[in-house]
Structure 1
């Protein structure tokens, strides 16, 4: 009996260590809070975030990321501008490096509130996004708190890229671009 309890204890300890290592260094799950990413994510959706990518590859325009917020829980947003890009919004169109981008994922109505902006409006010195900073926007632009409100985000605040929506089960998804 004592040997069996020790074996169970060791098994539980190993499982706990594996879970801690995976959640700390590899992947983590997050709950989407609010409607700022509609229609891509709904309030209450659960996602898996890849924390490994940050160590091996650069983030790209269109990537969905989770990042730490100074104002509360982490945010889920879409990267629109990466270091070296010029970005502006005019008449509901976002221009990256002078070209309008095709944003089929954006949710808005004809009378939606949309802020036109330039990088200068967001507090950027110069015409390009600085190194290690990113411009992020929500897909539901009228409701989203994003770079239009709090400026660019620093790379060190990024937790990782969203790789999988696992909840609700009937909407499990792996590709968000």
Structure 2
């Protein structure tokens, strides 16, 4: 009886497909598993330095995906990503007002147009940096709510930047003020 059970088991094992046979028959499953494992490993290896982000606002009509290169030195003209912090939001949401586009923790992308040492002048709701206009305040947001220009220093201090986009309705440093270097995630490159 035991011999019969052992022979039956041996016959079953002989007929059972090996792992290699299974992989050969399920080639696309194998390819998918390899790509998935590769993506996990790659994400773990490059995540400290790079991140892919999707478009976050209508201010970027020509690009849908961006590469954020973390920890890079930044300067005038650089496109940067940063996190909307509570103090930035509080500058534009006094008390009863809520602006859903200015939620804490949202990732933003803007261009650095003012660096430490630059001079800021506000004349008739127009903001100038070193004599060049960088945008006019609209006075009301897209919901028809009043929005004031931020209280900006005459000279940009060390460790802070003025960020903006050329889009006329860009929600930028005109309204929430200067951003801190510590809040910048990295430089941004449009992909597609």
Q: TM-score range by the shorter chain?
A: 0.5 to 0.7
Displacement of 1:46 in angstroms is: 0.8
Displacement of 1:34 in angstroms is: 2.0
Out of 45, 51, 57, the position equivalent to 2:70 is: 51
**Equivalent-residue separation in structure 1 for 2:38 and 2:179 (angstroms):** 37
**Equivalent-residue separation in structure 1 for 2:125 and 2:64 (angstroms):** 27
Q: Does 1:100 align with 2:132?
A: yes
TM-score of the aligned structures, taking structure 1 as reference length: 0.62
Question: Contact between 2:53 and 2:66, CA under 8 Å: does it hold in 1?
Answer: yes
**Equivalent-residue separation in structure 2 for 1:20 and 1:90 (angstroms):** 49
- Which segments of 5 or more consecutive residues in structure 1 lack a partner in the other structure? 107-113, 168-177
Q: Does 1:166 align with 2:185?
A: no
Question: Contact between 2:63 and 2:191, CA under 8 Å: does it hold in 1?
Answer: no
- Which residue of structure 1 lines up, in the alignment, with residue 92 of structure 2? none
Displacement of 1:45 in angstroms is: 1.3
Q: Does 1:115 align with 2:141?
A: no
Displacement of 1:42 in angstroms is: 1.2
Question: Contact between 1:33 and 1:43, CA under 8 Å: does it hold in 2?
Answer: no
Out of 55, 63, 83, the position equivalent to 1:32 is: 55
- Which residue of structure 1 lines up, in the alignment, with residue 173 of structure 2? 147
The structure that is strand-richer by fraction is 1
Displacement of 1:2 in angstroms is: 6.6
- Which residue of structure 2 lines up, in the alignment, with residue 171 of structure 1? none
The structure that is helix-richer by fraction is 2
Displacement of 1:52 in angstroms is: 3.8
CA RMSD of aligned residues (A): 3.3
Secondary structure of 2:56's match? Answer: coil
Change in 2 beyond 3 A, CA 1:16/1:96: same
Equivalent residue pairs, number: 139
- Which segments of 5 or more consecutive residues in structure 2 lack a partner in the other structure? 1-17, 24-30, 86-102, 139-148
Displacement of 1:47 in angstroms is: 0.8
Runs of 4+ in 1 over 4 A off after TM superposition: 1-5, 8-15, 89-94
**Equivalent-residue separation in structure 2 for 1:45 and 1:92 (angstroms):** 32
Out of 79, 94, 97, the position equivalent to 1:64 is: 79
